[in-house]
Structure 1
Amino acid sequence: MSKNARLSLIIVAVVAVVVAGFIFFSQNNNTTAAPKSADGKVTVVEYLDLECPSCRAAYPGVERLKTEYGDRVTFDVRHFPIPSHRNAELAAVAVEAAGAQGKRDDMFRLMFDTQQEWAGQQTSQQAVFLGFAQQLGLDQAAFEQALADPALRERVLAQRAEGSKAGVQGTPTFFINGTKFTGAPTYDALKAAIGKVLS
């Protein structure tokens, strides 16, 4: 084999490795915001804003689907606080702070149940959220400390950044096994979309 032929083969091999690596890392990056299920089950990712009326409207249907599907479908709720909603980011941090004491789902429910009372306000609703923590029987000092923890705020903002990268432009936005759900997220529409993936 001539020197030129050998050199050509080496160059082709290097290019092949670089291309394969690029494809691999590109695929990995795409799974961050809207993961696909690897075990034959269904994963539903929802990006929501706790101050958003449409998210509140979708909430009961999503909870009903969780109960109906059980462990056949994984529901992954992620934060996407919209900047124009004055208290959405703080509400998301409050949910995560409650989660540190095992009450994340309870705080989610309370936020939506009382949304009409605190949403749309242009002043901080921190006192209201502290009241929610008391209502849920949380350790107040630990909750306040968690509420002020920059790491929780960073987690919320990281989820919003992930959502933006995945194409989220408004809330609620759902992904079913990595595919963006389109249309109104009613109970019936979501159930039909999940059913298609399960069948």
Structure 2
Amino acid sequence: MGPSDAPVQLVEFMDPECESCRMFFPFVKNLMKKYEGKIQLTIRYVPFHGNSKFAIAILESAKKQGKYWETLEILFKNQPAWGNHHNPSPELIWNYLPMVGLDVDQVKKDYQDPAYAKIIEQDFADARELGVRATPTFFINGKPLREFGYQQLEDQIKEHL
């Protein structure tokens, strides 16, 4: 998301089943709007939770239909239902997809694409190599966020503008 030549290259390692990622998402979305054209956001996956790989495959399938961001938003909005750690119900995700205009039958065909497992594997390997131990973890122009927090993220972004 955002132009490839943006002065700020923001990489977020995230897990769609992570509560902290869900809570941070509106802030990241706001930063993208506030600094429109100045930030390119790249999402990388770190599937720490049990149903994350399933959700990631759904997200990647949604990307094929041009509905990645809408799908991510609806998954985060409904995460307490489908990703409840005491009683997870990932099958509920199928119910949310029509809300963002996805062709669910096509997603059901696409989400088992072995290429998605390779994306997850590569992202996870890169995360380990970079020392990512929790989600969300941010890198700004290749450097890790010095101190985790909303204001800290914005302050470090502003240093590059």
TM-score, normalising length: structure 1: 0.73
- For 2:89 and 2:16, the matched residues in 1 are separated by 14
Per the alignment, residue 38 of structure 2 pairs with 72
Q: CA deviation at 1:122?
A: 5.6
Aligned partners of 2:15 and 2:46 also within 8 Å:
yes
CA RMSD in angstroms comes to 1.8
Structure richer in helix, relative to its length = 1
Q: CA deviation at 1:64?
A: 0.5
Aligned partners of 1:86 and 1:122 also within 8 Å:
no
Letter in 1 for 2:26: P
Per the alignment, residue 138 of structure 1 pairs with 102
Q: CA deviation at 1:99?
A: 0.8
Letter in 1 for 2:123: Q
Aligned partners of 1:94 and 1:147 also within 8 Å:
yes
Per the alignment, residue 80 of structure 2 pairs with 116
Aligned partners of 1:87 and 1:121 also within 8 Å:
no
Per the alignment, residue 52 of structure 1 pairs with 18
Per the alignment, residue 190 of structure 1 pairs with 153
Per the alignment, residue 43 of structure 1 pairs with 9
Instruction: Name the SS for the 2:40 alignment partner.
Output: strand
- For 1:133 and 1:110, the matched residues in 2 are separated by 8
Per the alignment, residue 177 of structure 1 pairs with 141
Q: CA deviation at 1:162?
A: 1.5
Q: How many residues align?
A: 157
Unaligned runs of 5+ in 2: none
- For 1:162 and 1:97, the matched residues in 2 are separated by 22
Per the alignment, residue 122 of structure 2 pairs with 158
TM-score, normalising length: structure 2: 0.89
Unaligned runs of 5+ in 1: 1-37
Per the alignment, residue 5 of structure 1 pairs with none
- Aligned pair partner of 1:100 in 49, 55, 64: 64
Letter in 1 for 2:99: Q
- Aligned pair partner of 1:168 in 107, 132, 143: 132
Letter in 1 for 2:10: V
Per the alignment, residue 149 of structure 1 pairs with 113
After superposition, the C-alpha distances for 1:70-115 in whole angstroms (9 at most, x for unaligned) are 1111111111111xx1111111111111111110001100111111
- For 1:40 and 1:90, the matched residues in 2 are separated by 31
- For 2:39 and 2:101, the matched residues in 1 are separated by 30
Q: Give identity over the alignment, percent.
A: 31
